[in-house]
Structure 1
């Protein structure tokens, strides 16, 4: 594989401008939509918010392209595979759920690209009312050829777990590796190239965009810094496709396809604040407890998609990166817990501290609203008697959580079809034993 050379603009939510160096001066000067654009290009605006949103939340970009995206044949319905928004396929299941690593199909048996390899695991809400989320897995082995994907329902936050993915967008190209994430916002067309067997996670939100969380008492610095988010530099191809180029549109939870005779990645220049972007999780500045007790996982939030209720997220993307543990007189691993939020956890690499066995890279767990969860017996016993001294936590590991205020429904694929559900998961808590002693008294110092 020839390594793709990254070229990016830096910063989160900024107003950017970029033009392909092959066409200097392709960005119009002084106005967005001149009577005649440089190089005979078409001006097209991509709006990610209502026109009348307050300036801080108004999102839009102007694209200057060889042909406008409106030139295509009518959309027709296509098979959705295991991508769904049907949250009533099976009866609700409040149990703790764990999945073994999801199987990647062998290319010698079946060619599967990013779109055909999307599988909905769980979700809630409704794309029509623009209020909800979906959690998907992608398992694929081949690149998208003369096909691109466009999500009219919401944003995709993509977390590669195995294999690099080269994402071509209307704004340019992004190489995204495991331990990096990328966000493709609503309406942006993209295609995914892979270089072998590839697997990862997708968090989809409809009705909101991802943003950096407020820092509050933390102050001006910490968590994910805006400058570490990268947006691609403009790149175009002027290519006609005699056999037809397929544009796949996810609309109201269904897939539709249309044909056109040219590549959609024909944007020569663009400017705006509504862009795809990527982020390296190694750049996260960890905030942690340095005295006693165990801080809430909200201190590890990278991105949030806010709901209409202050302080309540439709979805948070939270990571558990390598860090120091120094708390005194404290049970340091995650505590036993019931939560009004739903928590889906995935593992990119390594071993998660609270469950060294069973929870594996490429798998996942779901602890639904108010379903109890916490460390297994071995973790509890070891951590209860450990000599407390400064120690490294999670070296060589990257676990993450999609946390949501929605009560999640699991799909039939997730519970039955994928055959990766670990039905013995509950047994990791069975060995927990009583330590209660009614005669216990505080020791005298």
Structure 2
């Protein structure tokens, strides 16, 4: 097996081999592949997708993947839900916030520890998303998984996970993210636990870097900072299970070996990891607070130009310098449904109650904004340059309404008094005064 170094290249075409000469040169599917390997293509887009969007990877493996599945049987993972899921006993209209979902004494793997919080869109028509919390204390042993429904954006908040995938090995810790493509087989191991974090399950078009527009070629997220693992393979004859998520259902099959047997590969459809500390924010340097879209790390487009199926937005430490400006996020309501999570530190618009590991949801066209403490501090502050430090929160934002699952509404630690954070905002209007 190869070492665990990484290559840059989110969306780039590249090649890697774990044994010398395993990778064919000059052709994708030679009559015979070195070492007695099988050639196989993993396609992440339609064959006829435009060239700049077309994604596929050629894999040279010990067995073709048809040997990695057998007869399927349905299994239940009761806490992992898919859209559409509209429970008549759950009200999703409202502003919601949760404390961190606590760990328990139960041994939980990547599959059994997934807890769906919201769903949006329709997994069957491949639009929308689901948001999850994962609680993982136990490694998967001779057990593997892939999703035919979605790619997974993983945002750790606590602990370190190792993803042993068909195309190599990645470890991710808090303040990093990973993207696991649709159809990729992997096993998840606990490096340092217990592990807790957030997952955005994207049913729609793949995540990509946003267009920078007038910003130009630099800042925000740079392609070179997304790291892809080098080839690593397992040649183990051992009874194993492969679980597949397909059309919102889970099926399991038994095989007699590890399916992580890709010895070499080349292409542009692969897992990646990214250090959120390499994200370079862009903001106002004179006056006014820009829209939160300025902090987009990744976007999954919809059929409507400029309106995302999902945006992944990051609020990290940064300088605030705008003059004569209300600097925290302003009060607003908009067409997007915003699910936020706190990775670490304090969020400037909610200094109390929104703690690391916590989440909040503000569905489309529901007003939200700073609580009274944040408002008073922002309106009375001396507007000199100040650096927000020790802060990192994110947003999964979608055009579709996000429906709460029964777990989010009835089992997760919902803050019943969250709506009260705005009740102390008093009327300040005085019609006898002009200007400010």
| Fold similarity call, TM over 0.5 | yes
- Which stretches in structure 2 are left out of the alignment for 5+ residues? none
Q: What pairs up with 1:5-154 in 2 under 5 angstroms?
A: 6-20=4-18, 23-71=19-67, 72-85=69-82, 86-89=84-87, 90-106=89-105, 110-154=106-150
Determine if contact 1:155/1:183 at 8 Å carries over to the other structure. Answer: yes
Inter-partner Cα distance in structure 2 for 1:346 and 1:296: 18
Note the C-alpha offset of 1:198.
0.5
Q: What pairs up with 1:312-351 in 2 under 5 angstroms?
A: 312-351=307-346
Note the C-alpha offset of 1:190.
1.2
Deviations 1:370-412 (A, max 9, x none): 111100011111111111100001x111100001101111111
Determine if contact 1:230/1:279 at 8 Å carries over to the other structure. Answer: yes
Inter-partner Cα distance in structure 2 for 1:96 and 1:115: 29
Determine if contact 1:105/1:112 at 8 Å carries over to the other structure. Answer: no
Deviations 1:311-344 (A, max 9, x none): 0000000000110000111111110110110000
1:231 to 228, 231, 252: 228
Please name the residue that 1:261 is paired with: 256
Note the C-alpha offset of 1:28.
1.0
Compared CA separation, residues 422 and 5, structure 1 to 2 (3 A): farther
1:432 to 416, 421, 425: 425
Determine if contact 1:105/1:140 at 8 Å carries over to the other structure. Answer: no
1:403 to 394, 397, 403: 397
- The alignment partner of 1:321 has SS state of strand
Inter-partner Cα distance in structure 2 for 1:55 and 1:27: 23
- The alignment partner of 2:138 has SS state of coil
Deviations 1:61-85 (A, max 9, x none): 0111111111132111001220112
Aligned residues: 431
Deviations 1:9-31 (A, max 9, x none): 112211010001xx200001221
Inter-partner Cα distance in structure 1 for 2:292 and 2:414: 26
> 2:198 aligned with 1:201, yes or no?
yes
Q: What pairs up with 1:243-392 in 2 under 5 angstroms?
A: 244-392=239-387
Compared CA separation, residues 81 and 442, structure 1 to 2 (3 A): closer
> 2:215 aligned with 1:222, yes or no?
no
Inter-partner Cα distance in structure 2 for 1:217 and 1:187: 36
Note the C-alpha offset of 1:91.
3.8
Inter-partner Cα distance in structure 2 for 1:391 and 1:49: 45
RMSD: 1.2
- The alignment partner of 1:415 has SS state of helix
Inter-partner Cα distance in structure 2 for 1:37 and 1:321: 47
Determine if contact 2:37/2:63 at 8 Å carries over to the other structure. Answer: yes
Determine if contact 2:330/2:369 at 8 Å carries over to the other structure. Answer: yes
Note the C-alpha offset of 1:367.
0.1
- The alignment partner of 2:65 has SS state of coil
Note the C-alpha offset of 1:6.
4.2
Note the C-alpha offset of 1:191.
1.2
What is the TM-score when the length of structure 2 is the normalising length? Answer: 0.97
Inter-partner Cα distance in structure 2 for 1:267 and 1:273: 15
Deviations 1:342-361 (A, max 9, x none): 00000100011111111111
Inter-partner Cα distance in structure 2 for 1:381 and 1:251: 49
- The alignment partner of 1:318 has SS state of strand
What is the TM-score when the length of structure 1 is the normalising length? Answer: 0.95
Determine if contact 2:296/2:312 at 8 Å carries over to the other structure. Answer: yes
Inter-partner Cα distance in structure 2 for 1:104 and 1:183: 24
Please name the residue that 1:161 is paired with: 157
- The alignment partner of 1:322 has SS state of strand
